[in-house]
């Protein structure tokens, strides 16, 4: 995966998705505000406000995720 692949996923209407890394971990992006892209890193926040900084080289897939339940 590249930063560009993720940018393309974010373009247009947002649909929740998850990123899977080479070690099998999954990072859910339920809303656009939960992800930040730099030229060399992908930062994904969770619902508790903690962040994971990922190297795009280790992101192996992007797939749709279920939306968060309405509050």
pLDDT of residue 71: 58
Judge: domain 3-64, CATH 3.90.105: no
User: Residue 68 — pLDDT band, cuts 50, 70, 90?
Assistant: low
According to DSSP, residue 8 is labeled: H
Domain ranges of the chain: 3-64
pLDDT digit string, tens, across residues 12-66: 889 999 999 999 999 999 999 999 999 999 999 998 989 999 999 999 999 998 7
Q: Is the pLDDT of residue 70 over 90?
A: no
């Amino acid at each position: 995966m590249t930063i560009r692949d993720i940018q393309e996923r974010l373009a247009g209407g947002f649909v929740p998705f998850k990123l899977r890394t080479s070690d099998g971990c999954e990072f859910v992006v339920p809303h656009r505000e939960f992800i930040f892209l730099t030229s060399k890193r992908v930062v994904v926040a969770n619902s508790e406000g903690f962040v994971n900084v990922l190297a795009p080289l280790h992101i192996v897939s992007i797939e749709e995720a279920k939306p968060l339940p309405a509050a």
